[in-house]
């Protein structure tokens, strides 16, 4: 490739990226999900548009899997463990048992209505059985959902990708004819277990690494965190485990630790997530051939309807009824099971194995995703109030950032006092921080103030605290509780853990 050709590639790539960024703005102002605009960009620059031809299914799958891994890492990184822990069993059931139920029901309907054989029926049902992380994270985070509902859906989208990939991979391979059902289940269980354990182990080692080094630039910490995520992904793949589950578990672990420059890293992972999402959908749109879409309309409608209106509700009811979840909440969770890039990515697997009818299956899944995203996405904001799953977002949440101080066993913790929190108007001395933590500086209107007995906190004050490394989480928890309850937090808060956080001695 000549230098001129390379310049053209960069120019086209930047044009696509800028179009994708503009599509985010259009999506936020309308009810149209952004993923449809990205797929449209891919179709527009493809063989039926600008004429760019891309038909390497294996390359598309490899890149897609990596990009989905980055999306899952960001999803795990931004999921708070305190919110996720109460719904972990629900999300786990939806992500495993729910997938199996959806595949069983949807494949049965496909065989009955479309007359396809068992292998094809299972393949097409498995491709669309899992909710898509990119679609779920992009759409649901615009709605102020109750944390239990939102975290359940996000957790499900993190857990159910690996089972769907395992089912599709096994069915298209020689294992379909050579391996027993018990062997397939054992193989799937091994991949899930290995992926989860490797993701957790790599994340723990990475956490220790980030805490023990003092890097000269804050921008290096997000890069190191991204490298840890990719390490978890690749090690799991080499070991035969689930790369996607490893990436999600690594993100879930690291995102809930007091990492150096945590907020900077979170902003970086969000940027990487947007880049991965745009690149993923544009590439999959580029892979499609518009001329083959008309003959995929009827199968797409049949399988999509079977999944959306029959299989998905049955799987949700089967998994959530034991938890005594309200019927309206279950119906909302069922409808919020968005499909996106992952089903299209899974549809490239039969193409890589050159199965008969693989191209037709790909376009059926492509059209199904587009059609039912248009149906489900715009209705979610209207269904949420009916289902009673909305809550008022608290404006008093504190966002902390911390970085290690070189040469001593301490960290610098930074946060901004919210305008409406109970911290506003408090004397600095009334914070009663634990021994080993001190407010070292306050920045107000770009001026540095030294805290003393006469200084009251104001909204938007930037506080810098020097804190012994072992006390970082305790100090953050105490400040958050005082911001919520004010000076009476000691009496209003309950429980041994809150008492420990509130006691300054």
Residues 168-200 as b or e (16 or more Cβ within 10 Å = b): bbbbbeeeeeeeeeeebeebbeebbebbbbbbb
CB atoms within 10 A of CB 426: 18
Which 3 state secondary structure label does DSSP give 424? coil
**What pLDDT is recorded for position 31?**
53
Return the structure tokens found at 182. Answer: 């018990």
In angstroms, rounded to a whole number, what is the distance separating the alpha carbons of residues 246 and 193? 9
Identify the DSSP state of 355.
-
| CA distance to 133, 413, 429, 438, per residue, from 469 (Å) | 34, 10, 21, 13
In angstroms, rounded to a whole number, what is the distance separating the alpha carbons of residues 196 and 89? 15
> In sequence order, which residues have a C-beta less than 8 Å from that of residue 190 and are 6 or more positions away?
240, 241
SS3 assignment for 141-204: CCCCECHHHHHHHHHHHHHCHHHHHHHHHHHHCCHHHHCCHHHHHHHHHHHHHHHHHHHHHHHH
433: phi then psi, degrees, rounded to nearest 5: -70, 155
pTM value is 0.71
Instruction: Spell out where 435-486 has E strands.
Output: 437-444, 447-449, 462-468
Strand partners, 203: none
Domains by residue range for the chain, with CATH:
31-50+86-386 (1.20.1530.20), 404-492 (3.30.70.1450)
Query: How does pLDDT run along the chain (505 residues), one tens digit per residue?
Result: 676 778 777 887 787 778 777 776 666 555 556 677 777 788 787 776 677 777 788 888 888 889 888 888 988 888 888 888 888 899 889 988 999 999 999 999 999 998 888 888 898 898 888 887 666 666 666 667 787 888 888 888 878 878 888 888 888 877 677 777 777 778 778 888 899 999 999 999 999 888 887 777 778 889 999 999 999 999 999 998 888 889 989 999 998 888 888 878 888 888 888 888 888 888 888 888 888 888 989 999 999 999 999 999 999 999 999 998 899 999 999 998 888 778 888 888 888 888 888 888 889 988 898 888 888 877 888 888 898 888 754 545 677 777 777 667 788 888 888 887 788 888 888 788 888 888 888 998 888 888 887 788 888 889 898 888 778 888 888 888 888 777 665 544 444 444 444 444 4
**What pLDDT is recorded for position 229?**
92
Identify the DSSP state of 45.
H
Residue 370 · residue 36 · CB < 8 Å: yes
Strands ordered across the beta sheet of 462-468: 400-405, 410-416, 462-468, 437-444, 447-449
């Amino acid at each position: 490739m000549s230098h001129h050709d390379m310049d053209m590639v960069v120019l086209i790539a930047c044009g696509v990226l800028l179009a994708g960024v503009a599509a985010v703005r259009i999506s936020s102002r309308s009810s149209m999900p952004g993923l449809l605009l990205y797929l449209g960009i891919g179709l527009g620059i493809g063989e039926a548009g600008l004429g760019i031809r891309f038909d390497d299914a294996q390359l598309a799958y490899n890149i897609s899997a990596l990009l989905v891994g980055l999306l899952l890492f960001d999803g795990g990184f931004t999921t708070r463990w305190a919110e996720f822990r109460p719904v972990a069993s629900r999300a786990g059931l939806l992500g495993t048992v729910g997938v199996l139920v959806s595949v069983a029901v949807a494949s049965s309907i496909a065989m009955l209505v479309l007359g396809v054989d068992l292998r094809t029926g299972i393949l097409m049902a498995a491709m669309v059985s899992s909710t898509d992380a990119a679609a779920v994270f992009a759409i649901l985070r615009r709605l102020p959902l109750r944390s239990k509902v939102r975290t359940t859906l996000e957790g499900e989208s993190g857990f159910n990708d690996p089972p769907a990939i395992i089912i599709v991979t096994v069915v298209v391979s020689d294992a379909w004819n050579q391996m027993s059902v018990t062997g397939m289940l054992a193989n799937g269980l091994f991949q899930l277990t290995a992926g989860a354990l490797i993701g957790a182990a790599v994340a723990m080692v990475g956490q220790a690494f980030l805490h023990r080094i003092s890097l000269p630039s804050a921008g290096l910490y997000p890069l190191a965190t991204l490298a840890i995520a990719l390490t978890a992904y690749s090690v799991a793949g080499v070991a035969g485990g689930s790369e996607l589950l490893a990436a999600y578990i690594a993100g879930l672990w690291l995102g809930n630790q007091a990492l150096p420059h945590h907020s900077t890293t979170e902003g970086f992972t969000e940027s990487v997530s947007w880049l991965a999402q745009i690149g993923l959908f544009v590439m999959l749109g580029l892979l499609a051939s518009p001329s083959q879409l008309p003959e995929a309309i009827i199968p797409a409608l049949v399988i999509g309807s079977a999944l959306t209106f029959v299989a998905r509700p049955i799987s949700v009811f089967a998994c959530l009824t034991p938890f005594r979840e309200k019927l309206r909440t279950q119906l909302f969770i069922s409808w919020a099971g968005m499909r996106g890039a992952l089903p299209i990515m899974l549809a490239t697997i039969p193409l890589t194995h050159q199965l008969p009818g693989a191209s037709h299956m790909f376009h059926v899944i492509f059209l199904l995703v587009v059609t039912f995203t248009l149906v489900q996405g715009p209705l979610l904001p209207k269904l949420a109030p009916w289902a009673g799953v909305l809550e008022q977002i608290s404006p008093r949440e504190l966002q902390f950032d911390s970085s290690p101080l070189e040469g001593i066993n301490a960290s610098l913790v930074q946060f901004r006092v919210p305008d409406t929190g109970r911290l506003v108007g408090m004397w600095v001395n009334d914070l009663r921080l634990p021994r080993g933590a001190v407010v070292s500086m306050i920045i107000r209107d770009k001026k540095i103030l030294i805290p003393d007995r006469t200084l009251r906190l104001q909204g938007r004050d930037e506080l810098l605290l020097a804190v012994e490394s072992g006390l970082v989480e305790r100090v953050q928890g105490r400040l958050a509780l005082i911001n919520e309850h004010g000076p009476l937090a000691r009496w209003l808060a309950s429980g041994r853990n809150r008492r420990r956080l509130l006691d300054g001695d």
